[in-house]
């Protein structure tokens, strides 16, 4: 489990441990491991998904301590809400390295172990952003859609070794994720400021509305881990994700675009 020290990652770690799984919890700062203090079936490791050296070091330590690993859950992620014109290189690099390349490098590190034991499962957590394109998602959405494409392609490579791959999409949940999203500075462009205000309001309301989504996610993730399917499979959890998926599929781009402009941007 990557990104295990807070938010959804912490909830997943605790849920699996309470259901008698031995959980390997990784986090960028090992000092945050105190959240799992005195829980015997949770073992914590420092792992920065943006650092190949950190991933290699953690992988070596984990495989010394565990002879067999059943599931890798790639959960670590960050957000960046910005207009393209106002975006910053450092923040673009950060979201790309965490959300996209971090998943790639963690999978790459553990494929040899799964291949040798002829069994294993990667569960890569994406988002509604991996299904549809929405306003102010110019950086977050591509990283999640890249994980979707990567996961499906990787599954073909691993099919001969009984290694399955799943992606999981859902909407906003009551966590600190939205509060921690990086945003561009307020500009002198009125249109930009109005759009940012609108999107911020919508995200805040949806987060509050989805108060029970976390429970559904935990239960579904546990079910996926307990019953891996062969090859590749996408899972959408919650009303928001399923609604967006079907609207985009059946309306087509033009009607979907009109819908978003009308109800999200009020245009």
Looking up residue 225, the CATH number of its domain turns out to be 3.40.50.720
The upper half-sphere exposure of residue 263, i.e. CA atoms within 13 Å in the direction of its Cβ, equals 7
Domain count, the chain: 1
Picking from 69, 5, 70, the residue whose alpha carbon sits closest to that of residue 224 is 70
pLDDT digit string (tens) for 4-17? 999 999 999 999 99
Whether 76 maps to a domain, the answer reads: yes
For 131-157, how does the pLDDT look when each residue is reduced to its tens digit (9 = 90+)?
888 889 999 999 999 999 999 999 999
Task: Report pLDDT for 148.
Answer: 96
Q: Residue 96, Cα to own-chain centre: how many angstroms?
A: 12
Indicate whether 249 pLDDT > 70. yes
- Within-domain flag for 2: no
Predicted model pTM: 0.92
Over the stretch 173-203, which tens digit does the pLDDT of each residue have?
766 676 678 899 889 999 999 999 988 888 8
Query: What whole-number distance in Å separates Cα of residue 65 and Cα of residue 73?
Result: 18
Cβ count within 10 A of residue 64:
8
Q: What's the confidence (pLDDT) of residue 155? A: 98
CA 142 to chain centre: 13
**Predicted pLDDT of residue 218:** 96
Q: Can you give the residue range of the structural domain that contains 145?
A: 7-263
Q: Is residue 191 part of a domain?
A: yes
Residue 192 located in a structural domain: yes
Q: Say if residues 165 and 154 touch (Cβ distance below 8 Å).
A: yes
Give domain status of residue 1, yes or no: no
Confidence (pLDDT) at 210: 61
For position 202, what pLDDT does the model report?
83
């Amino acid at each position: 489990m990557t990104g295990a020290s807070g938010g959804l990652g912490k909830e997943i770690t605790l849920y699996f441990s309470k259901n008698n799984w031995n959980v390997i919890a990784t986090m960028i700062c090992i000092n945050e491991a105190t959240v799992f203090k005195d829980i015997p079936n949770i073992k914590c490791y420092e792992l920065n998904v943006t650092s190949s050296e950190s991933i290699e070091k953690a992988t070596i330590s984990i495989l010394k301590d565990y002879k067999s690993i059943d599931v890798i859950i790639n959960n670590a992620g960050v957000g960046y809400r910005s207009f393209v014109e106002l975006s910053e290189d450092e923040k673009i690099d950060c979201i790309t390295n965490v959300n996209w390349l971090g998943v790639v490098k963690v999978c790459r590190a553990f494929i040899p172990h799964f291949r040798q034991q002829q069994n294993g499962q990667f569960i890569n957590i994406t988002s509604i952003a991996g299904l549809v394109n929405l306003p102010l998602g110019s950086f977050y959405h591509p990283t999640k859609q890249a994980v979707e494409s990567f996961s499906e392609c990787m599954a073909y490579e691993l099919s001969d070794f009984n290694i399955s791959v799943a992606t999981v999409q859902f909407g906003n949940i009551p966590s600190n994720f939205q509060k921690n999203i990086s945003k561009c500075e307020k500009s002198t462009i009125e249109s930009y400021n109005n759009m940012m205000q609108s999107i911020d309001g919508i995200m805040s309301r949806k987060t509050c509305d989805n108060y029970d989504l976390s429970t559904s996610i935990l239960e579904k993730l546990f079910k996926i881990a307990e019953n891996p399917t062969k090859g590749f499979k996408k899972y959408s959890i919650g009303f928001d994700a399923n609604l967006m998926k079907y609207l985009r599929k059946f309306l087509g781009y033009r009607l979907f675009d009109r819908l978003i402009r009308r109800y999200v941007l009020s245009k």
